[in-house]
Amino acid sequence: MNTLSKLIAAGTYEDDSTNHKRTLKLGGNGAREMKKYAIRFIHEEGNNAFRITMVATASAGLSLVFNPESESTIDAEFKAMAHGNDGVQVELEETYTA
């Protein structure tokens, strides 16, 4: 539940340790601000690496799939935002051997 609370655009998360109950509410008045995340994906192949880096919010929504026949999945989407002095949204970087 705590992980899911980080992936929603606006909501509240409560952990009541006295009653052993966690509650995640989506939306609502006074919902928390969207947090910004630094996200980096790295694909390595041999000595080469490809990196995608962005600052983003989890404002594009998410989907939950509960299937008794296989693992449950969470598919989250992130929306890139301008960051740094030059307003870059996404940075692609490749390192390679000559």
Helices (H), the chain: 2-7
Say if CB 25 and CB 9 are below 8 A apart: no
Count of positions (residues) in the chain: 98
Instruction: Going from the first residue of the chain to its last (98 residues), give the mean pLDDT of each consecutive group of 10, the final group possibly shorter.
Output: 66 82 72 73 89 81 76 78 84 84
Task: Please report the pLDDT score of residue 96 as a whole number.
Answer: 83
Task: Please report the pLDDT score of residue 10 as a whole number.
Answer: 62
User: Which backbone phi and psi does 62 adopt, to 5 degrees?
Assistant: -150, 160
Domain parsing of the chain, residue ranges: 1-33, 34-98
Q: What is the pTM of this model?
A: 0.53
Task: Please report the pLDDT score of residue 15 as a whole number.
Answer: 86
Give, in order, the Cα–Cα distances in Å from 16 to each of 4, 13, 44, 69: 17, 10, 42, 32
